Structure formats: structure tokens, C-alpha cells
């Protein structure tokens, strides 16, 4: 699809810019690897569910950064005909990210590793789980998004990870206390 879009752009048939982000999180985001099963569980005093190796570097994208990046790509002619990795918080290991979550919620956040076999079984009933099982490879090796091209062109960086976590947890806290 990317090749087709870029070819159409090169031929002058469309004006496109492609923005890519990694696994995302933020206020209102529940059905992702860092959604309710991580942030929600942490707020509730439970372990975070996770697939793969939490000690590997992994880029997570913050939804407001994705939105700002896509808005920039859609309004800046320098973006046309290119593929961009959108900026976000700094890349750390998932364990380090959950340590920041733990510091914010005031208690340790353990990790419950969900084996790929279990994801596949859940995938028999849930298309989302089936998709997650197919993407598990991203959590079995370092997964780092290089945003240098975007940042050197537009001069923007993502939200610092601690601030993104704080805002996300504030939303999860408000949802937990909403009747």
C-alpha cells in the first residue's frame, strides 16, 4: 500500500504524506498494549499484562504527539510524498516505563507475561487478540522508531515520557472513580 501511495504521489495523482507511529498510549486509549491491561491494571493495584521481553528497548507513541505529527504532515508541503516516523516520548524498556508508572501510582507494578500460545488461543475468539499474537515479534527484540528525519525537518520532539505517563494515569484515575 505504501509503494502504491508513493507511486501515485510521484505521478502527481495525489498529495500524500505517510505518518507512522509505534504502539500507542494516552488518555482514553484502552485497547492497546499499554491500555487498560497496563495503565488500568496499575491504577487498580494489579500487575500489568505484557507480551514479550519487558527488558528490551521499545518505542511507545503518545496519542497527542501522533495527532500533532499528523496535523503537521497534513499542513506542511515539506511532508508531501514522504514517509515519516512521528516523534514521541523517549524510547526505554517496557520495564523502565512501568517503573515510572509505579512511581506515579505509589506502589510497585508487577508484570504478568502473557505467553504467545495464550494470545493465539484468545485469538480464536477475538480478532484483536489474533492481531496481537501476529505482532508479538515486536516485543521479542528491540523495537525502536527512529524519528530523526521528522525532528530534523520540523524541529519538534515528542512529549517527555514522565509527562505523558502522568497525563495518561490521570485519565485512568478519573475513569476508575467515575460512577
- Averaged pLDDT, 51-58: 92
- Averaged pLDDT, 161-178: 91
Asked if 116 and 55 count as a contact pair (C-beta separation under 8 A), the reply is no
pLDDT at 179 over 70: no
pLDDT for position 44: 95
| Joined grid coordinates for residue 92 | 526505554
What is the CA angle 48-172-53, rounded to 5?
20
Flag whether the pTM goes above 0.75.
Answer: yes
Which conformational region is residue 53 in: left (phi greater than 0), alpha (psi within -120 to 50 degrees), or beta?
A: beta
**pLDDT over 70 percentage in the chain:** 96
Distance of CA 26 to the CA centre of its chain: 9
Confidence band, pLDDT 50/70/90 cuts, at residue 139? confident
Among 63-77, 79-93, 132-146, the least confident range: 132-146
Angle between helices 116-123 and 127-134 (to 10 degrees): 150
Asked if 101 and 109 count as a contact pair (C-beta separation under 8 A), the reply is yes
Q: Which domains does the chain have, with CATH numbers?
A: 2-177 (3.40.50.720)
- Averaged pLDDT, 145-154: 96
pLDDT at 8 over 70: yes
Confidence band, pLDDT 50/70/90 cuts, at residue 178? low
**pLDDT over 90 percentage in the chain:** 69
Q: What is the pLDDT of residues 76-123, one digit of tens each?
A: 999 999 999 999 999 999 999 999 999 999 999 999 887 777 777 777
- Other Cβ atoms less than 10 A from the Cβ of 79: the count is 22
Site of grid cell 502522568: 166
pLDDT for position 18: 96
Q: What is the DSSP string of 39-75?
A: IIHHHTT-PEEE-S-TTSEE-EEEHHHHHHHHHHHHH
What is the CA angle 141-32-173, rounded to 5?
125
* Average of per-residue pLDDT values in the chain: 90
Amino acid at each position: 500500500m505504501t509503494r502504491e501511495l508513493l507511486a501515485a504521489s510521484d505521478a502527481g495523482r495525489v498529495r500524500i504524506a505517510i505518518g507512522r507511529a509505534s504502539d500507542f498510549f494516552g488518555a482514553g486509549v484502552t485497547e492497546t498494549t499499554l491500555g487498560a491491561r497496563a495503565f488500568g491494571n496499575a491504577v487498580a493495584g494489579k500487575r500489568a499484562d505484557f507480551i514479550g521481553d519487558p527488558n528490551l528497548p521499545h518505542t511507545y507513541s503518545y496519542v497527542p504527539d501522533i495527532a500533532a505529527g499528523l496535523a503537521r504532515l497534513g499542513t506542511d508541503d515539506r511532508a508531501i510524498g514522504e514517509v515519516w516516523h512521528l516523534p514521541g516520548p523517549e524510547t526505554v524498556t517496557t520495564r523502565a516505563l512501568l517503573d515510572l508508572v509505579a512511581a506515579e501510582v505509589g506502589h510497585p507494578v508487577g508484570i504478568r507475561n502473557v505467553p504467545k500460545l495464550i494470545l493465539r488461543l484468545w485469538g480464536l475468539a477475538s480478532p484483536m487478540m489474533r492481531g496481537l499474537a501476529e505482532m508479538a515479534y515486536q516485543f521479542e527484540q528491540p523495537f525502536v522508531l527512529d524519528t530523526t528525519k521528522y525532528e530534523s525537518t520540523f524541529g519538534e520532539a515528542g512529549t517527555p515520557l514522565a509527562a505523558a505517563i502522568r497525563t495518561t494515569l490521570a485519565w485512568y484515575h478519573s475513569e476508575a472513580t467515575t460512577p
